[in-house]
Amino acid sequence: MSELTESELHALVSLLDDGDMEVRTHVRDRITSLGVGIIPFLEEKWEHSFNPEIQKEIEILVHDLQFALLKSRLLDWKNSENKDLLTGLWIINTYQYPDLEFEKLNAEMHQIYFEVWTAFKNDLPPSDQIRIINNVLFNTLRFSANTKNFHSPGNSMLSNVLDTKKGNPITLCAIYMLVAQKLGLPVYGVNLPNLFVLTYKSQDSTFYINAFNKGLIFNKKDVSNYLNHLKIEPKTKYFEPTDHLQIILRSFRNLVHSFDKLGEPEKVQEIKELIAILDS
């Protein structure tokens, strides 16, 4: 964990409410320099402390350490070759649930895939295959749009969506896309203004899927009409697949909006820091 002995660590933590601000700053920096390995020790100290001042300092330290780890993971993800979508969604998820293990999300997603796979038929036309996925996801497993709490940060947290079966367009599309691609289908995300959808795109067939509306199938003309209705110029990017980086960026931008609506400026600022890592 560190080169410090346990008694030295105890002594350091006891100085977190020191009256001298310079001492407190030095102590904070020293503890932070020990890295995330110090978190279990700090959490234990928090539990056994009867000093609210020290507890508050520990909470800030633990959050700062966890946030630094998140930033480091996000940078690694950005620099990775394939930018695995599930890993990106897990990293977002750790902002609210820092102890969440990737393996837990992976296992839950595999279970959903298994449910779809057992009902799936390879020899059907694409639209019928999509209807099978729709039936399992939206009727059997009962995933649906969270229209009641559309701006809740929980809609951007995959673990939350898997628990409640309610999400926003991006998380519902991400679940759909991860399952469809594992089945070998050419299904990708599409970044429309104000709405995230999917496209089934092969040499023989192209159509669109709205996971926020129970997997409704629509065509290119419908996309044009939608853009026209919003008075937005129909650019190529609104009809073509987007990449995983853009999906994760859009999820973070949703979170900025969510925390802004909740009146949490510190969280808005932190999410903007994460966006800057991906946008640089």
Go through 54-79 and write b for each residue having 16 or more CB atoms within 10 A of its CB, e for each that does not.
bbebbeebbeebbbebbbebbeebbe
What pLDDT, on the 0 to 100 scale, is given for residue 102?
Answer: 98
Indicate the residue type of 237: K
What pLDDT, on the 0 to 100 scale, is given for residue 247?
Answer: 98
Render pLDDT for 182-221 as a digit per residue (tens, 0 to 9): 999 999 999 999 999 999 999 999 999 999 999 999 999 9
- This prediction has a pTM of 0.90
Give the end of a domain, one of 60, 79, 98: 79
Of the pLDDT bands very low, low, confident and very high (cuts 50, 70, 90), residue 142 is: very high
Number of domains in the chain: 2
d(CA 152, CA 146): 9
Render pLDDT for 47-106 as a digit per residue (tens, 0 to 9): 888 888 888 888 989 999 999 999 999 999 999 999 999 999 999 999 999 999 999 999
Q: Which domain holds residue 114?
A: 85-279
Together in a domain, 136 and 239: yes
Give the end of a domain, one of 79, 108, 124: 79
Together in a domain, 24 and 161: no
DSSP H or E segment with residue 188: strand 187-192
Together in a domain, 19 and 152: no
What pLDDT, on the 0 to 100 scale, is given for residue 1?
Answer: 46
Q: Which residue has the higher pLDDT, 167 or 25?
A: 167
Closest Cα to residue 216, out of 138, 142, 159?
138
Q: Is residue 1 part of a domain?
A: no
CB of 133 closer than 8 Å to CB of 203? no
Together in a domain, 16 and 140: no
